[in-house]
Amino acid sequence: MRYVPDRTGRFSQRPHFKPEELDRECESIITGFLNDRYGKISYPISTDDLTVLIERDTESLDQFADLSKYGPKVEGLTHFQPGRKSIVKISARLAEDEYRHNRLRTTLAHEYGHVRFHAHLWDMEPPSIDLLKRKPRANMQICYRDTMLDATQSDWMEWQAGYACGAFLMPASALRQKIRPYIEQHGLFGIAGERDLHGRQLIEIVKIGFDVSADAARIRLIKLGIIGPVGAGPSLFSS
């Protein structure tokens, strides 16, 4: 990781991570947590484990928050507090609807990405009292459903938290281990097309193996270069 100028103007500098750096860090965090708690590592990580992890590293976690005042598509919020741990709020709509189970897990992992990778920025450059008077939300990251998994890279905080979300729920080495038998069984060498039979099967394996939505599995596989719009490229497991 290195610091680069923040062109959004929010900070003078902001962290720049290569995808593989986020993969390593996120997997280290998750495996360390699971080892400490259970003495072993197994997936999928449970929703309860995600909440315990967030509660460990924040001042509070509210999973039944009314976030409607921030907009109809807001599903998570991280409130940064200079000199103190952050506060995380999750829309009550997610916890109260069993059909939004996967979105709840995604949102928890996304907000934890903000906690782990961005909270320190508010310690380095806390907003002034005048700024908070003019912009009361300057110390918050308000997260929308549509960009939870795959924001544009120009929205660097959301992109990093979105990438971290996938890396927490579907750690890279565990994901590759999960799909390896299918890859070897079918002799696949190269990027699979996301709409092809093998691409769809890989998405399903990851979806079931890590208890995520098909969309989350698809985006994670794309980001890791395992599937793409069309099948092409080098071996999936080449160095």
Q: Which tens digit of pLDDT belongs to each residue from 77-122?
A: 999 999 999 999 999 999 888 889 999 999 999 999 999 999 999 9
Percentage of residues in the chain having pLDDT higher than 70: 96
Does the bond joining 44 to the residue before it have cis omega, within 30 degrees of 0? yes
Q: What pLDDT score does 238 carry?
A: 45
Predicted structure pTM score: 0.92
- Please name every residue paired with 60 in a beta bridge, in sequence order, or none if there are none: 87
* Average pLDDT of the residues in 155-173: 97
Q: What pLDDT score does 183 carry?
A: 94
Q: For residue 43, count CB atoms less than 10 angstroms from its CB and return exposed for 0-12, middle for 13-18, buried for 19 or more.
A: middle
Q: What pLDDT score does 124 carry?
A: 92
Q: Which amino acid is at 1?
A: M
- The answer, yes or no, to whether residue 234 has pLDDT greater than 80, is no
Q: What pLDDT score does 231 carry?
A: 61
Give yes or no for a contact between 149 and 218, defined as CB atoms under 8 angstroms apart.
Answer: no
Please provide the DSSP assignment of 28-87 as one string. HHHHHHHHHHHSS--SSPPHHHHHHHHHHHSSEEEEEE--GGG-TTEEEEEE--TTS--E
Whose tokens are 């939004």? That residue is: 100
* Average pLDDT of the residues in 203-225: 97
- The answer, yes or no, to whether residue 233 has pLDDT greater than 70, is no
59-63, 149-153, 207-211: least confident range: 149-153
